[in-house]
Amino acid sequence: MKSYAIVDSSNIPIISVTFTGEKSTDENFQQYLDDLESCYYDRQQIAIMFDASKAVIPKLSHQRKQALWLSQHWKLMKNYCLGTAYVIPSTAIRTVLKMIFSFQNQPVPYKIFSNNEEAEDWIEDLISKAKVTNE
């Protein structure tokens, strides 16, 4: 099975999710959601950067599944996710994200960027503010 997205948690508290450009299948989309959920196992604060530069539009059923995942993990995200940055150069993919959020809004701050550098700066700022607040 080819991955729909690669979830990299090696740089905690920053989680990087990179969409591979593969079409979503029931199997690889579920693996992506499972990998995303695993980022919360340690119950520590994280910030997630989604790089959708190579993303292809997921099936409508997978868009709904993503919205359901957000709904089911609302409290978990609210408690542990500082925010999510989306790198989405494609207008079509931006539209899909808006559609997913129309099914189920996101419980944490998020922002859409056209490049990785701006997204990384925003994520770093979120983490810095959280550290100041927690001190």
**For 124-133, what is each residue's pLDDT tens digit?**
999 999 887 7
pLDDT of residue 62: 94
pLDDT at 134: 66
Q: Is 86 within 8 Å of 110 (Cβ atoms)? A: yes
**Dihedral sign from CA coordinates of 79, 134, 130, 15:** negative
Measured CA to CA, the distance from residue 135 to residue 121 in angstroms comes to 21
* d(C-alpha 8, C-alpha 11), whole Å: 8
Q: Which helix (H) or strand (E) holds 23?
A: none
Tell me the whole-structure pTM to 2 decimals: 0.90
CA distance 70 to 128: 25
For residue 131, the model assigns a pLDDT of 81
Identify the segments of the chain with pLDDT beneath 70: 134-135
**What integer pLDDT is reported at residue 135 of this predicted model?**
61
What number of H helices and E strands is found in the chain? Answer: 5, 5
